[in-house]
Amino acid sequence: MNKVEHIGIAVRSLADSIPLYEKLLNTTCYKTEEVTTEEVNTAFFKKGETKIELLESISETGVINKFIEKKGEGIHHIAFDVTDIEFEMNRLKQEGFVLLSDTPKQGAENKLVCFLHPKSTNGVLVELCQEKKG
């Protein structure tokens, strides 16, 4: 676990939320990207070392849509940068944390990602992400 890589925020509409966050953070969105494995459109902002990821569902049945139906818009997950995601996944599994996938998945920004079940982390959805090598 190196640092917080980004904070993920669930939104209903990127079209509405991108201008809002551009005003809030006084910066422009540097990237939007569709992540098909998670059924989301993402938008990224950077301030210093800190990144914010907005997530909009692209399907009725997607996880972000379910999250918003249950809890409304808001903070969805905290992502930590890791050097070796398989090592961290094994370490956390041995420590008793529940992983949501057995192998890393393709995430946004050319990263390998894995989520931890919130029931094992005091209700916080935690994402591990590792920069893909090469």
Whichever of 81 and 127 has its CB closer to Zn ion, that residue is 127
Whichever of 33 and 86 has its CB closer to Zn ion, that residue is 33
Q: Is 79 in the site for Zn ion (CB under 5 A)?
A: yes
Rounded Cα gap, residues 1 and 52, in angstroms: 18
Rounded Cα gap, residues 133 and 112, in angstroms: 10
| Least distance from Zn ion to the Cβ atom of residue 81, Å | 11
Q: Is residue 12 classed as helix, strand or coil in its secondary structure?
A: coil
Q: Is 8 in the site for Zn ion (CB under 5 A)?
A: yes
Q: Is 104 in the site for Zn ion (CB under 5 A)?
A: no
Q: Which token pair is 72?
A: 């409304």
Rounded Cα gap, residues 2 and 70, in angstroms: 31
| Least distance from Zn ion to the Cβ atom of residue 61, Å | 19
- Tell me the per-residue interface mask from 37 to 76 with Zn ion, x by CB under 5 A, - otherwise: ----------------x-----------------------
Rounded Cα gap, residues 90 and 39, in angstroms: 26
